[in-house]
Amino acid sequence: MGAGVSAIDGLGLNPEAELGIFVELKQKYEAHDVKTKAEKAALFDELFEDYKAKAQQQLLMAKGSSES
């Protein structure tokens, strides 16, 4: 996988949309004061699930607009 490959490559998510999601989640991560590895892992899992949900939403929106 190259540097420009999407984390959910093959699903067709717009790179700009994916970057927007990533930036939003990075800001959420930085807003938390995590100290232990367990806290970091739990927060990462939560944010990754959020990322997947947002990415799926973006895909559905893109699919809906392309069918119009």
pLDDT of residue 33: 86
Q: Say which residues have a Cβ less than 8 Å from residue 28's Cβ, sequence separation at least 6.
A: 47, 50
Q: Range of 66's domain?
A: 33-68
52 located within any domain = yes
pLDDT of residue 42: 92
53 located within any domain = yes
Please identify every stretch of the chain with a pLDDT value under 50, giving residue numbers as ranges: 1-6
Angle CA 55–5–9, to nearest 5: 45
42 located within any domain = yes
Distances (CA, A) of 58 to 1, 15, 35, 36, 46: 22, 11, 32, 32, 18
Provide the token pair at 56. 């799926």
Number of domains in the chain: 1
12 located within any domain = no
pLDDT of residue 1: 40
pLDDT of residue 5: 47
pTM more than 0.85: no
pLDDT of residue 8: 52
22 located within any domain = no
